[in-house]
Each structure stands twice: as structure tokens, then as C-alpha cells.
Structure 1
Amino acid sequence: MSRRTVVTGVGVVAPGGATRSAFWDMLTAGRTATRRITFFDPADFRSQIAAECDFDPRAAGLTPQEIHRSDRFAQFALVAADEAVKESGLDLAAVDRDNLAVSIGSAVGATTRLEDEYVAVSDHGRHWQVDERYGSRFLYQALVPSSAATEVACRFGAHGPAAVISTGCTSGLDAIGHGHQLIEDGDADVVIAGAADAPISPISMACFDAIRATSARNDDPEHASRPFDATRDGFVMGEGGAVLVLEELEHARRRGAEIFCEVAGFANRSNAFHMTGLRPDGLEMAEAITESLNQARLDPTAVNYINAHGSGTKQNDRHETAAFKRSLGQHAYDVPVSSIKSMVGHSLGAIGAIELAACVLAIRYGVVPPTANLENKDPECDLDYVPKNAREQRIDVALSVGSGFGGFQSAAILRRWTS
């Protein structure tokens, strides 16, 4: 008998919404959380804007020790996991800890802590030979991205598989997909799965500045993230995290859990084409979509919402538009598509998990989040991108896709649960 995966809890820390409900309120209102960077002086950068989280770890329930030893990205993961587990109603005392797993995604790990540490040991880069006396006792935790999965596993006493999935900008999708596969394969009954990243730092901004991937619309931060718009000029950096509680269906039923939806399919591909470039025909993303639909035993016409990668770069937006047409055929013109990056920015490895959280909520509440700031449609992007305002609509099947540097292409299918 095949094992099925359902979602029973959702937790989110995102720009403009430090809880799941605040996040959803912002999305459905079409508000944007992009602004001039406040974490450091961005005056020397080409792109001086980002979607920052107004996040107080102490107010969110973390202890002084957790705050001291953990980078910001790990703090996001812990707080989102707390919310998801609480909402799921799991009685951890009754859970078989050997069948409780953790799967956390991150693209850049403890970027903020590592940069701060380097500044200290090198005296702001003045010394080539660094002074190790100024390094933190918790530098090792910052060096290895597995620290987030470790913290989450320890917090909930998970003795099953624990992993960090780091596949660039598809990390969040892939981490939840990995959790789904753990349940399918019988390696876990419950998986705390999601992703977190906190990349708004000088080094990260400099890297994307160098390849001109980020928006330079510094005089209008609120409207800078413009996926599928003809006037777009790059993505806006973001940060945050999201965690889903995934459960094997019968495990959730036995304890009377509320089921949000089912994870019905997940697939990924690599284009092996270019480190940052994308094939214009969208072939690999289309193959990932088709495979995820096959796993779900669904026809392409069953999809009635697409949460796009929608980064706001011309290359990406045209690439995935082609992928939707290739995989869904004529139906691609009938299904609403939107990008929440228009509101919360692009939080690298975290965004896939945040977008899947948005899909879960879209199914639950029957609302398609909008693509904010879409005013001048690119003629090459000719689908229904739900411009500016949310749309009430029953959603039975949601498709979420991700695309990452290195050629990663991922797709997940979420299906409304009916008992």
C-alpha cells in the first residue's frame, strides 16, 4: 500500500509578516515589504533595496542562549518550526521520535554570522592574517549549514533522518520534496520540513550586484520587484523562513489531525546548461512539472493555480512561461499564475518553502495571491499573472515551481484534501 503525505501545520517568518497569519494577510492585501536596506549602509551598492523581516527573536520565543549561538537564518527556522508544530497539534510526547525527521533547506547558510566573524578577526579586512582570538566560540556552527537542521532536530527530539538540502534557490522546494519522499519510502511518519535564509548582508548584495541580477530601482523600493512586467530590472533580495509539518496520511488520521492538503507529487531536474543561464524553451522545468503531475496521477488540466518562481529577471520570467506552456499545453492560458516575490522579495533558498506555505494557504482559503506591481505586461509573458489584486477562487490543485543557479529546476503539486 502506497504511503501518502499530508500537511498538518504551517509556520512562516517573512518580510511584512512574522507569523503565518500576518504573512497571509499581507499577501492577500497585495502589500509589498520591500524597502531601502536598514541592516547596513547600502550607499556603495548598485542595488540598495531588500525585503527585510521585522524580526525580534526574543519576542518570538527564543532563549538568550539560542540567540547567542544561532545565526539569523537558524533563528528563522526555529521560530517557523515552533509555529508549524504548535498548529499541527502534535503531541510530541506521543510521537515515535525514531520516525520523526527533519529536512531544512538553505542556499547560503549563516552568511550574516560568517561575515560578522570575518570583520572581527580581520579588523574590517585590514589584516590578511586573521586573529583567531576574536572568533566566536560558535563559529563552527556558522560554518556548517547543517546547524539549522541540528537546532530544529534537537528542539523537537527528532531521532529520524535529519538533513540540510542546499540546492541554491530551489532549496526550500527540494527540502520539502525530500521530506515527502522520506514519508513515501517509510523512513519517517512525521517530517518537520522547510527552509530559511538570511542573505541581506554586504557580501551577498555585492555578489548579485556584480552580475547585475538585482533591481537598481532604489528611488522606488516598494515597486521594485516586478515579475513579468516589461519594465522589470532584476529581483529584490529578501530573507525569511517557512516550515511545514508533513505527516503520513494514516498517522495524521489516527490522531484526528486537521489536514490542510496533500503533497501529491515532487520532481526536480538539472539543465546542465550554464551556471546562471537558462534554456529559453524551459525544457527541464517542464519535465519536472510533468513528472510531478504523473506522480500525482493528474492531467495538466487539473492544475488551477501556479505559484511561479517569478524572480523578476527577464531570463527567468520568459523561461518559466515557456515551461508552463510546454507542460500544460493550451491549459496554461486558462490557469492563474502569480509570483509572491513581488511582495516578499527573493530569499534565495528559503523562498521555495515560503511559496509552498502560500500554496497551502491558497488552497485552504480559496484565494490566489496577486503579482504586485505588474502594470506593463511583457509581450513574451502572455499568461494570466493575476496583476496587483488577489482573486477569490477555489483551488483544488496548486503547482509551485523553482529555478536556481546551477541549473536546478523543481516542481511540487499540492492537492486539496477530501476525506
Structure 2
Amino acid sequence: MTCGSLFFYLLDYEDSGLSHLPVIVGMGGVNPAGRTSGHQAFRRTVLDVLPEAQQANTLLGLAALMRLASRDADERWHDASGQLLDAQTLVAQTRDHILNHTLIRRNEDPRFGAEGIPGNRRASLALETPLTFRLRRRELPDDLPPTWQVREIDRQQLEVTVPAGNMDVMLPEIRPAQVKAAGQLPTGFEPSQLYRSVHHPRGLSMSIFAASDCLGDSGLNWDTLRDRLDPDSVGVYAGNSIGQLDEEGWGGLLQSFVSGKRATSKQMPLGYGQMPADFLNAYVIGSVGTTGAALGACASFLYNLRLGVNDIRSGRCRVVIVGTSDAPITPEIVEGFRSMGALADDDSLKALDALELLTDSDYQRACRPFARNCGFTIGEASQFIMLMDDALALETGAEILGSVPDVFVNADGWKRSISAPGIGNYVTLGKACALVRDMLGEKALRERTFVHAHGTSTPKNRTTESHVFDVVARAHGIEQWPVVAIKSCVGHSQGTAAGDQLTSALGSFAYGLLPGINTVDSIADDVHAERLRFFQQPVAFEADASFINAKGFGGNNATGVVLSPNATERLLRKRHGEAALDEWRTRREIVRTRANHYHQSADAGRFDVRYRFGEGVLEGPELEVAADSIHIPGYAQPVSLNVDNPFGRLDED
């Protein structure tokens, strides 16, 4: 298809009234299972059933990610000390370490270690006699109690005398961590070390890596792609559920007064929840198109995906990058969830299995969706996908990993408490199933779909979510609906949870495998499992579609429909014809070659992290502004100002 014929085809396509199909052409990120691109993280969750060669490649890639090994330009492997080793020996030496330092495990953050979490306790000292102490001049409070007596010793030191009586103080203490299980990124992987990071919160460093990984996975040259598009036809929707709350973000800002530390100029702006989108626009792709972030608690990824899908379907955007990035493993956030009774703390885990002490293997089994359980396990992750309209994907030869025809969102209505589950999820899943039935047929819905459950591992979730699945399955005549609960492997990454689920679903399409819930021995008696199929080990399953389900605090329910590459190609054949697909397959070979080159480099620990700070900065006077367009230096195509007006003109009368 020539450029001219493609132009007229697009006009006919738009006049037909059909929506553009949002197809997934790239994915990237990182979670406790590893790197998203090339399905590395997915392969880690089904490692034991993979062929031996794929197991070895997965472990070698993880060894490079975790800085246990590296591969040189001659494709030779070296261990961390630089010693030259053959691949088989390296796999044997690192396998146990990799298995024990990926997925859910004992929290390795030193803030949660054996020494405990530093804190303070309020106390009132009853001074029977005056108390005298010395301190440096700059440590003296600006506003002194009126009874304090201060004497200068020298230019640096002062002597303070406090009279007898009551004195309120904060006494430092070390509190033992009550929650020690977490889904942390693989040990040794630090995204901030891969680019020129300057006091970036962890979540934003993860965003830079994840977005770069997504671009590399696509096999497309971003600058070339951007040059063929109106700059306003690119969108970015990315955020998280609770902002950046580590010390470099709002966490450090909020602690500054009580901790005695100074707030920095970066902590306030970098803490905002939409900052992953801002970082992506400013430092990764240089986009001037539409942007934003939708926050929906644990459903945030799907909320952002819905915005991107709507923009693609309507034609407002031709390319949209969607993602979330959450790094919530901080003492304050963990304590907040623990105080709600939402987390699997150590005492609850010991009571669950009648144990006196917890071992490393007990922490690895902390998250048990749909089994006897006691709370979720917090995790961290960053996940990004690139969406294109189907015509552009065919035109560019993009790899099609799947497609997202729609995402459904509904609230719970009246609730007893803000954190209690409600009725909205019945509506979202019901709509999603109806769409798949109408697109693929009843047989495909019943026999070739599976559910990626929210599956948090709380007693309330196992009953309420399974009931949603069971009654919807009954309504559609589904007998044995496969249920995947990936949080058993990677934990609950809050707003990014559905991103973990979606990228895992893409792995299932690629490998024909569904991850098992390997942390459970049996399904709990109160789970509604009559029409559901749970399994402990990975199972072979060829699917046409997956339902990505999310149930967030406050009644934020969402269900996304993801079609497999095979089902998507069948749909594209019907929409565009076999000749168009043949031309696409020819162009795709070049894209695949570039993507494979990126995957091989990433598997060797050589990451092409894209971070362009201060490049191509424009402030306004450089623009060429006309009545119907704006030309931006550095962008090949102008921004069209011909906007849709559905309201008509007043001066026509």
C-alpha cells in the first residue's frame, strides 16, 4: 500500500464510522520477577515448566540484571568478579541466588532489617533537679521555652540549663519491623544507576527505565516515528496510586520538620502522582501531545489505559504510551497498611501456619490468593505499554503483542466503609464479557478466555472477587474459567498491579502458559469456585482473550479486555484485508530484528536507558505560529489547529 493509497484508505476508514483498534506494539518495565521486555519477568513466573534452554536464558538474563554476571562484546560471560565462565557453569552458580532474590521474599531493605526501623517516642521527663547540657549553636531551637537559660561557651557551643519540672521530649528508639515480606525488585538492580539520576525518587527512576524498556521492546525508532506524526497525535497517560513517598519525594518533605532535616527544592514537585507522565514527556520522548494521569487506587493502571484506549479509538491520538510506577515499600506506607489490617504481618503468618519462627521459605509463600490467607504482600513495579491505532501499526510494521478494545470502570455505589468491596466489579466484568462475546463469539468466551484476578490474598478479597467471577461465569455458561493470580509471585504493587497482570497476560499469549498460584496448597472453603479453575502449577492454555481485573480502595473497579495477537490478527484481516497484512508482515521483519537486538543487549545487562535532560528545550519565541498550525523546531510535522467543532457556527444564520 503506497502512502497515497494509505491516505485515502484512512479517509474511507474514518468515514465508515468504525473505531480505530488500539493495539499493543511494545511493553517495558520491571517488577520482582525481572524485566518486562522480551517476557523475562513472565518466564520467571513459569520457570520450572520451560524447556531447559529457555530456563538457562532466563536465568542468565536475570543474572545480568542483578549484576551477578555480564556478557562482553564477544558474547562471553563473566561472573561478578570478572572471571570468564561458560554459560552452563554460570547458571549453576547463580541459580539458587536468583531464585531466592527475586519474587516475594524477606524484605532486604536495611530499614526493615534486624536492627529495626528508627523512630521516636514522645515522653515527659520529670526533672527533680535542673538539667544542664551543651550543644552546637546551630542546633539550638529558634523559639526557646521561656524557662531555659542559655550561656555562651564559645562561638560554636552553648550551655543550656533547664529548671526542675516537666520537660516534653522525643526519645529515639528502634522498632522491630512487624511486616518483613515484600515483593522487591530483583536484588542488585538499581534503576537510578543506569542514567544520570540526581536525587530522583525510586518510582521515577523506575519510570525512566520502564519507558526506555518499552521503546526498546517495540523495535521502533522513536524519533523516526515521531517525525511522521502530528506532535499532538501522541499521548502519555502515566502516574501511580499514592505519589512518590520515599525520602527523595513527599516522604522526605513530610518528615523534614519532625526529623530535623531540611526540605529540598526537589521533594515537593517530584512527589506528585502524575510525575511519571511528566518525566516521560520531558526526558524520554519529548512529547508535546496530550498528557495526564488518572488515580484510581489499585486500579490506576487500568484507569490510565482507559484514557489511552479512548484516545486511540476516537482518533484523537495515533500513539499513546500508558503506564504506572509505584515504589511503596517504605516504613511509613507499610505501617499504614498494617494498621488497617490489610497486610500479612509476621504474627499473622505465624498464626496462619502455627509456626513459632518464620524462615525465608515462609516469606516466599506470604501471598496466597484464594487460599487460607491473612493479608496482602506489598510490592513495587513499573509497567508501560505503547498503544497504536491499527492502521499505523500496519503502516510501520510494528510488532502486535495484543490489543485492548475497551476498559470498563464502575464505582460501588453506597458503601459501609471506604475500603469495603461493593458491587461495581460485577458491572465491569459483565460488560467486558459481553464485549468479548460480541467480538469473538460465545464459544471463544466460554473456552478460550481466562481471568487475571486482582487476587490480593486478603480473606475478604478471596470471597468477594471469586463471587464476581462465579456469577458472571454462570451468566455466560462458562464451566471451568481459568483464574490467574500473579500477586502470589510479585506482590501487590498498588497502582501498577493491573500492569503486572496485563504484561503477564501478554506472556501467556506468547508462550501458551498460564502461571499457577504456587504458594497455595488448596483453595479456601469460602471461595466461590464452582465454575472457576484454580491451579498450583503453570498450565498450557491457548487463549483468545484475557480479562484484567482490578478492585481498588474506595470502589475503584476496572476490568480491561486484552485480545491475543492471534485474535487481533484475525480482527485486522477482517478490517483491512489479507493483502494489507502481508505487507505489514514484510515490514515487521525489520522491526523484529531491531527488537531482538535490544532484547539480546538487555539480557546481557546492557540497557539503552533514554534520558535526555536539557535537550531541545523550547520556551515559545522559537515557534512559528499560524492560524491553522504551529511549527515547532525539532519536530518534522506541524501541530494542526484544525479542531473538531461538533456544535456548528453561530454566524451561519
Same fold (TM over 0.5): yes
1:170-249 maps to which residues of 2 (within 5 A)? 170-216=299-345, 217=349, 219=358, 220-230=362-372, 232-249=373-390
2:182 corresponds in structure 1 to 50
Distance 1:140 1:119, change over 3 A: closer
- Superposition deviation, residue 69 in structure 1: 4.4
1:305 corresponds in structure 2 to 450
1:397 corresponds in structure 2 to 545
Q: 8 Å contact 2:253–2:267 — kept in the other structure? A: no
Q: Distance in 1 between matches of 2:206 and 2:259?
A: 32
Distance 1:170 1:303, change over 3 A: farther
**Aligned AA (1:373):** T
Q: 8 Å contact 1:263–1:415 — kept in the other structure? A: yes
Gaps of 5+ in 1: none
Q: 8 Å contact 2:20–2:312 — kept in the other structure? A: yes
**Aligned AA (1:178):** L
SS at match of 1:168: coil
2:270 corresponds in structure 1 to 142
Q: Distance in 1 between matches of 2:259 and 2:383?
A: 38
2:603 corresponds in structure 1 to none
- Superposition deviation, residue 158 in structure 1: 1.6
Cα deviations by residue, 1:351-408 (Å, 9 ceiling, x for unpaired)? 1111111112211221111112121211222254543311111111111100000011
1:152 corresponds in structure 2 to 280
Q: Distance in 2 between matches of 1:187 and 1:206?
A: 43
Gaps of 5+ in 2: 1-17, 49-98, 117-175, 351-357, 574-653
- Superposition deviation, residue 116 in structure 1: 5.1
2:536 corresponds in structure 1 to 388
Q: Distance in 2 between matches of 1:163 and 1:115?
A: 20
Does structure 1 residue 348 correspond to structure 2 residue 480? Answer: no
Q: 1:106 aligns with which of 224, 236, 240?
A: 240
Does structure 1 residue 409 correspond to structure 2 residue 549? Answer: no
Q: 2:217 aligns with which of 69, 81, 87?
A: 87
Q: 8 Å contact 1:13–1:80 — kept in the other structure? A: yes
**Aligned AA (1:358):** S
Q: Distance in 2 between matches of 1:337 and 1:242?
A: 21
Q: Distance in 1 between matches of 2:427 and 2:254?
A: 44
- Superposition deviation, residue 343 in structure 1: 0.4
Does structure 1 residue 363 correspond to structure 2 residue 363? Answer: no
1:257 corresponds in structure 2 to 398
Q: Distance in 2 between matches of 1:313 and 1:223?
A: 14
SS at match of 1:336: strand
Q: Distance in 1 between matches of 2:434 and 2:254?
A: 50
Larger mean Cα displacement after TM superposition, 317-326 or 110-119: 110-119
Cα deviations by residue, 1:146-173 (Å, 9 ceiling, x for unpaired)? 2110011121022221111211000012
**Aligned AA (2:338):** D
Q: Distance in 2 between matches of 1:356 and 1:292?
A: 15
1:36 corresponds in structure 2 to 106
1:10 corresponds in structure 2 to 27
Q: 1:76 aligns with which of 196, 199, 206?
A: 206
Q: 8 Å contact 2:106–2:180 — kept in the other structure? A: yes
Larger mean Cα displacement after TM superposition, 353-362 or 19-28: 19-28
Q: 8 Å contact 1:304–1:396 — kept in the other structure? A: yes
Cα deviations by residue, 1:217-269 (Å, 9 ceiling, x for unpaired)? 37121111000112x11100000111111110001000111111111221011
Q: 8 Å contact 1:37–1:49 — kept in the other structure? A: yes
Q: Distance in 1 between matches of 2:374 and 2:328?
A: 20
SS at match of 2:420: coil
Q: Distance in 2 between matches of 1:26 and 1:371?
A: 14
SS at match of 1:111: coil
Q: Distance in 1 between matches of 2:448 and 2:296?
A: 26
Q: Distance in 1 between matches of 2:46 and 2:510?
A: 13
1:327 corresponds in structure 2 to 472
Distance 1:302 1:77, change over 3 A: farther
Q: Distance in 1 between matches of 2:450 and 2:483?
A: 6
Larger mean Cα displacement after TM superposition, 384-393 or 198-207: 384-393
Provide runs of 4+ in structure 1 moved above 6 Å. none
2:143 corresponds in structure 1 to none
Q: 8 Å contact 1:308–1:400 — kept in the other structure? A: yes
- Superposition deviation, residue 38 in structure 1: 2.2
**Aligned AA (2:302):** L
* TM-score, structure 1 normalization: 0.91
Q: 2:482 aligns with which of 308, 318, 336?
A: 336
Larger mean Cα displacement after TM superposition, 137-146 or 189-198: 137-146
Q: 8 Å contact 2:241–2:296 — kept in the other structure? A: yes
Q: 8 Å contact 1:338–1:385 — kept in the other structure? A: no
SS at match of 1:327: helix
Q: Distance in 2 between matches of 1:105 and 1:301?
A: 34
Does structure 1 residue 275 correspond to structure 2 residue 275? Answer: no
Give identity over the alignment, percent: 21
**Aligned AA (2:183):** A
Q: 8 Å contact 1:6–1:262 — kept in the other structure? A: yes
Does structure 1 residue 286 correspond to structure 2 residue 415? Answer: no
Q: Distance in 2 between matches of 1:177 and 1:356?
A: 13
Q: 8 Å contact 2:250–2:267 — kept in the other structure? A: no
Q: Indicate the structure (1 or 2) with the bigger Cα radius of gyration.
A: 2
Q: Distance in 2 between matches of 1:295 and 1:302?
A: 15
Distance 1:284 1:119, change over 3 A: closer
Q: 8 Å contact 2:253–2:264 — kept in the other structure? A: no
Q: Distance in 2 between matches of 1:364 and 1:22?
A: 12
Work out which structure has the larger RCO, using CA pairs closer than 8 Å and 6 or more positions apart in sequence: 1
Q: Distance in 1 between matches of 2:550 and 2:462?
A: 11
Q: 8 Å contact 1:3–1:186 — kept in the other structure? A: yes
Cα deviations by residue, 1:69-106 (Å, 9 ceiling, x for unpaired)? 42111121221111111221233223223211111131
- Superposition deviation, residue 62 in structure 1: 2.2
Distance 1:294 1:265, change over 3 A: farther
The count of corresponding residues between Structure 1 and Structure 2 is 404
Q: Distance in 1 between matches of 2:391 and 2:219?
A: 15
Q: Distance in 2 between matches of 1:19 and 1:51?
A: 15
Q: Distance in 1 between matches of 2:370 and 2:542?
A: 24
* TM-score, structure 2 normalization: 0.59
Distance 1:19 1:56, change over 3 A: farther
Q: Distance in 1 between matches of 2:383 and 2:498?
A: 9
SS at match of 2:293: strand
Query: What's the Cα RMSD here?
Result: 2.1
- Superposition deviation, residue 137 in structure 1: 2.4
Q: 8 Å contact 1:285–1:409 — kept in the other structure? A: yes
Q: 8 Å contact 2:250–2:270 — kept in the other structure? A: no
Distance 1:389 1:316, change over 3 A: same
Q: Distance in 1 between matches of 2:366 and 2:242?
A: 23
Q: Distance in 1 between matches of 2:286 and 2:254?
A: 35
- Superposition deviation, residue 196 in structure 1: 1.0
